[in-house]
Amino acid sequence: MFNLLGSDFFKSNPARSQPSYLEKADLLLLQKDWVGKVLYSAGSSSQRGVAILIRKNFNIKILKQQSDEEGRWLAIDAELFGIRYTFMNIYGPTADLPGFFVELSNEITQFGNSYVVLGGDFNNVRNPKVDKTYTWGITRPSQARKAIEVDLVDVWRYFHPSDKEFTFYSHPHISYSRIDYFLISKSLLSITEQMTIGTILVSDHAPVGLSLRLGQLSKLRPTTWRFNSSLLKDEQSVEFIKSRLIQDCSYLKKKSVQHLHELEMDIKKMEKMHSSQSDHSILLELNKLKAKYNSIFQKKAEYTLFRNKHKYYEQGERIGRFLAENRRHRHKCYIRRI
C-alpha cells in the first residue's frame, strides 16, 4: 500500500504487497469502487503478476510504462505536482538470477528520475540476523541483488533499525522473514509519514504500507540562485562585497586559531591522563586528537604551497626567482659568528 496525501495512490492489494497470481482478465476486475486505473504486468502462466492501482480523480500523469513479459516487474514514469517520479512494483525470483536485478537497475537509470519508489515481494532477506527467525544455512544476498539498492533506502529498516517484524511465513521451513519492503530515494525520507507492516491473515504475506507527502516536495525543492554580474560594475557593491569577504576571512581565521588552541589544550590534557593511567582507550583518543591536529596543519601547508606556486607562476623567471628568494631567506638566517 502506498498512500499519498490522504488518498490511496497504490491501494493495498495482493499485487502491491505480495505476488499476484491473477490472469490478465481477472486484473481488470480490480477496476471498481475507488480504483480508476489498473496498470499491470501478467505472465503467460498463473504463477506471477504485479499491478499498480491508481485512485479515481487522482491528478497524476503517466508519461511512460515499462514491464517484462514474465510478470515480474512493472515500472511507470509519472508526474505529480510538477515533479517526475519512478514508481516500480516487483515480484523477485526465488532463485538467484543476477540478470533480473541488473535489468531493474537499468530500467530505473533509463527513466532518469531523481525520485524513485520501489516496492514489492523481493523474495530475498536483506539481513538474516534481524529479518529472519531461522538463519541456519542462509547465504548472503548476491551483489546483483544489492545493485538495485544503490542510492535507495529500505524505509522500514531506516526507521526501525533494530526491530524484528516479518512479512512472510514459510510453512515448509517453519520460519518468519521480511522479504516485502519499499526502497525509496534518500531525498524522500524527509517527507515519509509512516511505514507499517500489517498482520499475516488471509495469505502467508503481510501487507506493507508506506505513506509519503509528495505534495510537500515541490515546496522543498531548492531554487537555482544566480549571481547578478551587473553588480561588479557598481563600485559601491564591489567595495561592500570586498569588505564583507575580508570580515568573513578574518572571522574564519580567528575561529581556526581558536580551534587549534583548543586541540592543543585537549592533547595536553589527554597526555597527562595517559601518563598517569596508561589506559588504552585514553591512548586511542589521544591519537585521534593528534591526527586531527596534524590534518589541519597539513591542509594549511598544502594551501601555502599552492599560493607559492601560483605566485611564482604569475611572476616572471620562475625558477630563478624561487632560488633567489630561498637564498635571501637563508642569508637572513645565517649566523656569521658566535
pLDDT for residue 167: 92
pLDDT for residue 77: 94
pLDDT for residue 5: 40
pLDDT for residue 31: 67
* 323 class by beta-carbon count within 10 Å (0-12 exposed, 13-18 middle, 19+ buried): exposed
pLDDT for residue 184: 94
Question: How high does pLDDT run on average in the chain?
Answer: 79
Q: Give me the mean pLDDT over the 262-270 stretch.
A: 89
Q: Is residue 13 part of a domain?
A: yes
256 shares its domain with 290: yes
Q: Is residue 338 part of a domain?
A: no
175 shares its domain with 94: yes
Least confident of 2-6, 178-182, 195-199, 226-230: 2-6
Least confident of 116-120, 130-134, 261-265, 333-337: 333-337
Query: What is the domain range of residue 23?
Result: 2-220
Percent of the chain with pLDDT over 70: 76
HSE toward the beta carbon, residue 74, CA cutoff 13 A: 23
Q: What is the CATH number of the domain that holds 137?
A: 3.60.10.10
pLDDT for residue 10: 42
**The pLDDT of residue 336 is above 70:** no
Beta strand 2-4 with 208-212 is: parallel
Q: Is residue 64 part of a domain?
A: yes
Most confident of 30-34, 181-185, 324-328: 181-185
Q: Give me the mean pLDDT over the 20-34 stretch.
A: 63
238 shares its domain with 322: yes
Q: Is residue 315 part of a domain?
A: yes
Annotate 140-158 with b (16+ C-beta within 10 A) or e (fewer): ebeebbeebbeebbbbbbe
Q: Give me the mean pLDDT over the 151-165 stretch.
A: 90
Q: Give me the mean pLDDT over the 134-161 stretch.
A: 69
In the chain, how many domains are there? 2
16 shares its domain with 144: yes
106 shares its domain with 73: yes
Q: Is residue 18 part of a domain?
A: yes
138 shares its domain with 280: no
Segment 171-201, tens digit of pLDDT: 888 889 999 989 999 989 989 999 999 998 8
113 shares its domain with 178: yes
Q: Give me the mean pLDDT over the 65-92 stretch.
A: 90
247 shares its domain with 307: yes
Decide which of 109 and 139 is more confident. 109
pTM score over 0.85: no
* Rounded CA separation 183/292 (Å): 37
First-to-last alpha carbon distance for the chain, in angstroms, is 88
Q: Is 121 annotated as a binding residue?
A: yes
Q: Is residue 151 part of a domain?
A: yes
Q: Which one, of 86, 136, 89, lies nearest residue 115 by Cα?
A: 86
Instruction: Among 200, 220, 240, identify where a domain stops.
Output: 220
10, 125 Cβ separation under 8 angstroms: no
**The pLDDT of residue 279 is above 90:** no
Q: Is 205 annotated as a binding residue?
A: yes
Q: Is residue 123 part of a domain?
A: yes
What cell numbers appear for 327 in the block? 637564498
192 shares its domain with 273: no
**The pLDDT of residue 213 is above 60:** yes
287 shares its domain with 318: yes
132 shares its domain with 35: yes
**The pLDDT of residue 219 is above 70:** no
Kindly indicate the confidence band of residue 8, based on its pLDDT and cuts at 50, 70 and 90: very low
Percent of the chain with pLDDT over 90: 23
Instruction: Among 220, 253, 281, identify where a domain stops.
Output: 220
Instruction: Among 220, 240, 270, identify where a domain stops.
Output: 220
Q: Is residue 135 part of a domain?
A: yes
83 shares its domain with 107: yes
pLDDT for residue 317: 56
Catalytic residue list: 91, 121, 205
pLDDT for residue 84: 92
Q: Give me the mean pLDDT over the 60-85 stretch.
A: 90
